[in-house]
Each structure stands twice: as structure tokens, then as C-alpha cells.
Amino acid sequence: MVGLPKSALDHLGASPIGTRKSPTNSFDGVPDVVDLSAADACFRIVRACEEYGFFKVVKHGVPPEVSARLEEEAFGFFGLPQDVKEEGGPPDPFGYGTRMIGLNGDVGWVEFLLLPTDRGNASEKANSFFHGCLGESFRRAMEEYTARVKELTVEVLELIAEGLGIKERDVLSSMAMDERNDGCFRMNHYPPLKSKAPHEHSESDTMLGSTMNTGDGRRNLVGFGEHTDPQIISVLRSNDTAGLEIRLRDGRWVSVPSDQSSFFVCVGDTLQVLTNGRLRSVKHRVLVHDVNERARLSMIYFGSPARDKKISPLPWLLKSEEEQGGKSMYKEFTWGEYKDSAYKTNLSHDRLSLFEISP
């Protein structure tokens, strides 16, 4: 992992934990910061998506108290006794989970809540937990937050379409906001290593096997292993505890300075296909640093189409590529097919490779 160089930090006005001087880390301005109210926001977003598959959003219009309220509720939940939280697990995929991510053997220094946002598509077990143990005030805070974050998602997706030169501004946002959309919401809690984590009682060797050697003498654990998100875009907000890293196109990992007043957007695999590879999904991960005094808490909204939505490159983009052949790089699939296939893979798997058409 490489930390951000001082010049980039100055530019961003923040300092990440874990910055390490290295001759290889000279680049500018990660992440790109987009002011949503700026006239050129659509072009800045597209450029950031092309370059990193990732950007930070400021002046986003989500009131800070809405985020703070849900964050407080989430800390309240994660502070409950382990047996109470586990009434909401194991995740199927919705519900409460600890240490295990997905069904294929990935582990991380994390406990989480994964919840549906729109449809009643959770199992009865997850639903009764949501309505029971989580409580009314949690549900109201989550509803208020997700309503605001969906508005932000619509705005970002419309700006992407505009920046790509597509007249139908809502071509992407309408997929994510379809009444049968398959969006979901995740809250990840990464306890500090010094505290007794809920799952620590098992003193898991597997967990220690996930130690990440950053070469700077620090002991970091993998909180959430490297992966791309399968959906269209993910809109992430965290508290002020660092840990998120993205992989640059040249393979280097960089830490993203935390900023609780901003949102971070990740391009997902589905947007990669919709843009025929022009915008590529970003590999990202979370490391838990041994110097962290406080837990990291992140809240992520994953914008997804309906399960039966056919996913293939947007015709406007293929047309504009006509001179170069204008062919799709991917076999067509429905979001449901892609999701089912993704859920059979490990976190770090290159899930889109199954759907690529060789040139």
C-alpha cells in the first residue's frame, strides 16, 4: 500500500493515517473531489470515473444531521450484546453478520448489517429482526438517510449520463430507481484492534491470517478484502476513521482520507458494462490500522437495477464507438443473473471475466 504524497494531501486538506513516504507514490489528487453544484460537475465526474472509478462528492445536499442520526443508531446497535445482534443473523444475504463476508469463505475484521432498501425482498427472519430488534427509531433514521442518499444517487447518475453526452439524462438513474430495483444498504462496523471485537472471543487464526503487511512496521488487519462492487454505483459515507483504500489503474493501493462530511462514489461492475468498459469498476478494500483509537463505521447504498433488467452497453455509447467497430465487450445478462453469479464468487474474484467477449 502506498500513502498519499504530501502534495496531494495539501490539495485535499486532510491527512490520512498511514501515510508512508515512498519514491513510487508521486501522483496528484486522489480522490478527485467533485462539487455537485459546479457547472462542469458532469465532466469532472466522468473524468474521475475513467481515471479511478472513484470520486469524492462535496456540496451534496444531504443534511449532516441525517447522517449523524443514523450513525448514532448504528453505533447503538453494534454496541448491543452479541447474542442480541445475532438474532439478526446469519445474513441470508440480509441481516446481521460478523467476520464472514458472503458465503464463500471470505473473512474480515468487521461486523455488519445488510438490509434491503426498497422491496420486501428480505427473508421473513431478516424482516422480523428489522422490525423487532432494530426498532422504530433505527428504521426511521435509515429511511430518512436512504431517501436522501437515493436523491444523491439520482443526481450523480444523471450527471454521468450528461457527461457521457447522452441526451436521455435518466437512462441510468431510472434503472436504479425502478420500483422493483434491487438496491441494498450496508452498515459496516470495524472495531479498533485494541478493543475486544465481538468475534474476537474465538481468537481466530483465520483472522490473524488476514494481517496485511504494509511494509512500514504497522500491523493492519483486513477489515474488508479487496473487491469491486457488482452494482451500478455505490455511495459511501463513513465516520472520521480511516481505512478505505482504492487500487489505482496501475495497481498501486492508496488510502482515501476519511471525511465524514462527504460522500464517496465507487463505479460498480454494472456501470462498467453499461459504458462498454469506458468507466471501470474500482477495486477497493478496508484495512483496520493498529493505531486506530476509534471504530470505523461506514454506510453504503448500492444502486442496482431490477433483477430482470437486461444489462448491455448503452446504444448511444456503442454508436459513438462505431468507427472502432462499435461492438459490445460483454455478453448480455440480466442483473439477476449477474448477481447470482457474483454471489458464488470470492470477494477478490474478477466477476466480469465470465461475461467478457474475447476480441
Ligand X SMILES: O=C(O)CCC(=O)C(=O)O
Binding site for ligand L4NPZUNZ (CB under 6 A): 93, 101-102, 104, 106, 114, 186, 227, 229-230, 302, 342-343, 345-347
Catalytic residue among 218, 296, 307, 351: 296
Kindly state whether residue 298 participates in binding ligand X, applying the rule CB under 6 A. yes
Would you count residue 289 as binding ligand X (CB under 6 A)?
no
What single DSSP character describes residue 24? T
| Annotation marks residue 296 as catalytic | yes
Q: How many CB atoms lie within 10 A of CB 258?
A: 20
Q: Which of 74, 157, 300, 342 binds ligand X (CB under 6 A)?
A: 300
Q: How far is the CB of 63 from ligand X (least distance, A)?
A: 21
Q: Decide: is 182 part of the binding site for Fe ion (CB under 5 A).
A: no
Q: Which of 142, 286, 287, 352 binds ligand X (CB under 6 A)?
A: 286
The answer to whether 188 contacts ligand X (rule: CB under 6 A) is yes
**Whole-number minimum distance, CB 225 to ligand L4NPZUNZ, in Å?**
8
Instruction: Please say which residue, 229 or 259, places its beta carbon nearer to ligand L4NPZUNZ.
Output: 229
| Cα of 218 vs its chain's centroid, Å | 25
Closer residue to ligand X (CB): 54 or 333: 54
d(CA 346, CA 106): 7
Nearest-approach distance from CB 2 to ligand L4NPZUNZ, in angstroms = 24
Q: Which three cell numbers stand for residue 132?
A: 423487532
Under DSSP, the state recorded for 295 is -
Q: Using the rule CB under 5 A, is 229 a contact of Fe ion? A: yes
238 contributes a contact to ligand X by CB under 6 A: yes
Angle formed at CA 343 by CA 92 and CA 76, multiple of 5 degrees: 45
Sheet holding 263-267, edge to edge: 33-35, 54-58, 263-267, 233-238, 296-303, 184-190, 106-116, 95-101
User: Where does residue 204 rank: exposed (0-12), middle (13-18), buried (19+ CB within 10 A)?
Assistant: middle
Residues tagged active-site: 296
